[in-house]
A = this chain, B = another copy of it.
Amino acid sequence: LIEQHRIGDSVASGRRVSRLDHVGIAVESIDAALTYYTDQLGLTVVHDEVADDPGVRLCYVDGGDTFIQLVEPIRPGPVREFLDSSGEGLHHLCFATDDLDSALVEWPGQEDARVFMGGRDRRACFVLGNPEGVIIELTEEEPQSQR
């Protein structure tokens, strides 16, 4: 894969991502945070799971075409470190892509980006760079079970 990286290539081939899939919010307790989104805003929970590899509980609230993803760490790791250093709040943007591997191959400097099984049975990856301080994740449109 690394050999196929063509540093500096443009994205002229088209959109690398298709849409904003979710906004991640780091929280100490999903149970405590969820009330605002369900009772105050009147939104609906569509998915709630533990992602074992990153070690987080993920709760997806229906925001239309884009989810609000509440993220609660269940053990030490990057989200726990974020909470300890920055407190609760907006954590990352995640964009959907039709083909995660192709997106990374064409993307300069992502050799060390680690693909993992994200929420909702989708492969995902935090890309390196954090433009203007924003943590960026990519996830696949289709669940792994349908690929």
Contacts and interface: CB of A to CB of B under 8 A. Distances in A.
Residue from A28, A65, A87, A129 whose CB has the most chain B CB atoms within 10 Å: A65
A45 interface: no
Contact of A23 (B16, B20, B40, B87): B20
A43 B17 contact: yes
A93 interface: yes
Interface size bracket, A side: 35 or more
A43 B15 CA distance: 6
A7 interface: no
A129 B36 CA distance: 10
A42 B16 contact: yes
A107 B16 CA distance: 40
Contacts of A107: 40
